[in-house]
Amino acid sequence: MKGIDAYRPYFNEIPRDLLRRLNEEDFKNLHKFISENAETWNAPNADQYIDLVLEYSIVEFVYEYKDDEIDTIGEEKTIDLWKGLIPVIKKVYEKHLKLYYALHKEEY
């Protein structure tokens, strides 16, 4: 399971607005959604696959765990804010997701 330690090298790349909102449990919950979505999505190539998995994982994470922020700043702003984490998540999961795609996904 990828927890907070996998992200530590990239903390300086996480937007400050997100860094102050994140806690260790958030990383575990994101991992759960990424793992589930890795098994669900398919795309014509690995890059599109990774983008789909990460984007949908963020959206599901926001709806499931950050609904208080949706109530405060609005749905679209909250999702856009958390999508700012995607470049960092991609660095943590890209190799794993490319390998998964190569081993488990059929031709699109």
Q: Which of 81, 79, 49, 77 is nearest to 64 (CA)?
A: 79
107 has pLDDT over 60: no
Domain limits for position 22: 4-104
pLDDT given at position 38: 95
Please list the alpha-helical segments (H only) found in the chain. 4-7, 16-19, 24-38, 46-65, 67-73, 75-83, 86-104
Domain count, the chain: 1
Give CA–CA dist 41/82, Å, rounded. 20
Question: What are the tens digits of pLDDT across the range 62-78?
Answer: 999 998 888 889 999 99
Question: What are the tens digits of pLDDT across the range 1-16?
Answer: 577 888 989 999 999 9
